[in-house]
């Protein structure tokens, strides 16, 4: 087995390490450090407005001349956002959040939260016109027409799935590579539509990767729980041609996570995460804290709106350096993280470890 795969050759990268485009955390410094080290750094584009996205892409280009990617999430709820009139349960949501706001010394809220930004199409156009080397997609199916437009711009398209069925649908849309996201991974589950329960589409990486490899013809990238050379080699042994790594890169010097978040990643054990929809309205894996445990079993608002409802609490927690009242998106791999290296150093270390395993 070799670390160079047909996929790394096609992308012009040295090693099969893909850094997840984590919204708010994978900014130009992180993406460029990974690309400079021979992997594929991916800018987290969700949450940036059109001008910030364009300048962030320019900044990545300033920091590296290697291939890189830009990530956007394309869930149904952002393409056809719920309207204010359809929001139910706002009073219950505010009632769940208000005791936490009081604990944090923040003003309590009663009304409808700020509406989500409705600029997804404009942001897609920015990624297209910037002709970036790779476009990475989470939580949605871009469909053939959009994939063809990216191909015409010379952009390689990578999309993420949590089930075999969604992977087949992505392959039918013509994407160039598919990320198989196992249930142990951090952040949002890459469902196109929110399922009825968190258990749906939470198949572990060990089972999901070979299942998707056997179901599609395009290269597969494994995600979920890869933190070192051993897990990278395991991903390749399962038939993947690379690994997309989120949580491990979140705990690096270049990641934009605040310091208390990084400390939480160092402290948490692998069993301390949970899948919950309380932080955003969509199921995501987080480190359990006073927020995730204290919210209760009441309703959550649709994706975009729930993020608006919790925004002031998370912002207050970030400013106060309080890790108990923010969303600590992280995968089970957090239990295996004990340091905060530079991202380039981390790529080199994972490669060394993988080569040592392969030489056995």
Ligand X SMILES: Cc1cc2nc3c(=O)[nH]c(=O)nc-3n(C[C@H](O)[C@H](O)[C@H](O)COP(=O)(O)O)c2cc1C
Where do contacts with ligand X occur on this chain (CB under 6 A)? 20-23, 25, 44, 46, 71, 73, 138, 160, 181, 184-188, 223-226, 244-248, 250, 329-331, 333
Nearer to ligand X, 38 or 45 (CB): 45
Dihedral angle of Cα 149, 151, 155, 161, to the nearest 10 degrees: 90
Nearer to ligand X, 218 or 245 (CB): 245
CB atoms within 10 A of CB 87: 16
Tokens 């270390």 correspond to what residue? 349
Nearest of 127, 156, 178, 222 to residue 12 by alpha carbon: 156
Nearer to ligand X, 90 or 317 (CB): 317
Mark 251-287 as b/e (b = at least 16 C-beta within 10 Å): bbebbebbebbbebbeebeeebbebbbbbbbbbbbbb
Nearer to ligand X, 251 or 309 (CB): 251
Nearer to ligand X, 113 or 225 (CB): 225
Task: For the CB of residue 205, give the shortest distance to ligand X in the complex, in Å.
Answer: 8
Task: For the CB of residue 257, give the shortest distance to ligand X in the complex, in Å.
Answer: 7
Tokens representing 332 are 């089970």
Task: For the CB of residue 50, give the shortest distance to ligand X in the complex, in Å.
Answer: 17
Query: CA 247, CA 329: separation in Å to the nearest integer?
Result: 8
Task: For the CB of residue 12, give the shortest distance to ligand X in the complex, in Å.
Answer: 21
Q: Report the first-to-last Cα separation within the chain, whole angstroms.
A: 11
Task: For the CB of residue 75, give the shortest distance to ligand X in the complex, in Å.
Answer: 10
């Amino acid at each position: 087995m070799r670390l160079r795969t047909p996929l790394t050759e096609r992308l012009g990268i040295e090693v099969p390490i893909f850094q997840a485009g984590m919204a708010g955390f994978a900014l130009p410094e992180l993406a460029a450090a990974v690309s400079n080290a021979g992997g594929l750094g991916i800018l987290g584009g969700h949450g940036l407005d059109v001008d910030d996205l364009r300048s962030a892409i320019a900044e990545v280009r300033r920091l590296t001349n290697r291939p890189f990617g830009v990530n956007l999430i394309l869930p149904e709820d952002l393409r056809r956002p719920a309207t204010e009139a359809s929001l139910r349960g706002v009073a219950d949501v505010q009632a769940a959040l208000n005791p936490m706001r009081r604990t944090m010394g923040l003003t309590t809220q009663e009304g409808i939260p700020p509406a989500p930004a409705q600029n997804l199409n404009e942001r897609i156009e920015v990624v297209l016109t910037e002709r970036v080397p790779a476009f990475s997609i989470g939580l949605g199916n871009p469909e053939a027409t959009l994939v063809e437009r990216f191909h015409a711009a010379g952009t390689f398209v990578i999309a993420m799935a949590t089930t075999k069925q969604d992977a087949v649908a992505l392959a039918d849309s013509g994407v160039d590579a598919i990320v198989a996201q196992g249930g142990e991974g951090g952040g949002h589950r890459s469902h196109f539509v929110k399922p009825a329960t968190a258990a749906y589409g939470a198949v572990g990486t060990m089972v999901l990767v070979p299942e998707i490899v056997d179901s599609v013809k395009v290269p597969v990238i494994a995600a979920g729980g890869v933190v070192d050379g051993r897990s990278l080699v395991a991903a390749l042994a399962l038939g993947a041609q690379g690994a997309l790594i989120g949580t491990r890169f979140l705990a690096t010097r270049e990641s934009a996570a605040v310091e208390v978040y990084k400390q939480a990643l160092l402290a948490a054990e692998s069993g301390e995460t949970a899948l919950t929809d309380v932080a955003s309205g969509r199921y995501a894996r987080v480190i359990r804290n006073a927020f995730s445990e204290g919210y209760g079993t009441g309703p959550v608002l649709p994706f975009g709106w729930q993020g608006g409802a919790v925004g002031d609490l998370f912002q207050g927690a970030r400013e106060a350096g309080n890790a108990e009242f923010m969303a600590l998106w992280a995968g089970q791999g957090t239990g295996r993280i004990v340091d905060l290296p530079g991202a380039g150093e981390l790529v080199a270390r994972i490669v060394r470890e993988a080569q040592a395993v392969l030489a056995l």
